Amino acid sequence: MSPRTMGEFIPKMLTAFGLDRVHAIGPDVGTSALLFAAYARSDLFESLVVGSGATDAALTAGALKDLINAPSTIPFEENGEEIAIGAIEQVMRINPGQQVLDDY
């Protein structure tokens, strides 16, 4: 269940299926996996839709809120990599309690 390992697998899978550039949807753990994959092989992705069923766009802030509410992604094309890395780094700092880990 390592998102980094799954992210390394995704480009291999796309290549095996002969897919050159895709629109990818990654809910839940797929969010981090797709962000790792797109960071490593951005040439394979036309777009990403990431998040989870628990995401409430009204509760977002900062760059994520700007991205969600933007009429176009063009302003983010220059720093999209920074946004993805920041999201992954933030997720990596979370230390879930044992009850959460047991439930997962």
pLDDT of residue 53: 61
Identity of the residue numbered 52: S
Angle between helices 3-16 and 29-40 in degrees, nearest 10: 60
Give the contacts of 49 (CB within 8 A, at least 6 positions apart).
23, 24, 25, 26
What pLDDT, in 10s, does the model give residues 55-102? 677 888 887 788 778 888 777 777 777 877 887 888 888 888 888 777
pLDDT of residue 63: 72
Which helix or strand (DSSP H or E) is residue 101 part of? helix 98-103
The parent domain of residue 8 ranges over: 3-103
pLDDT of residue 89: 85
Mean pLDDT of the chain: 85
Give the contacts of 25 (CB within 8 A, at least 6 positions apart).
48, 49, 50
Q: What residues pair up with 48 in beta bridges, in sequence order? A: 24
Residue 103 has pLDDT above 80, yes or no: no
pTM (two decimals): 0.52
Residue with the larger pLDDT of the pair 71 and 38: 38
pLDDT band at 24 (very low <50, low <70, confident <90, very high): very high
CA distance 90 to 7: 17
Please answer whether residues 23 and 47 qualify as being in contact, where contact means their C-beta atoms are separated by less than 8 angstroms: yes
Number of domains present in the structure of the chain:
1
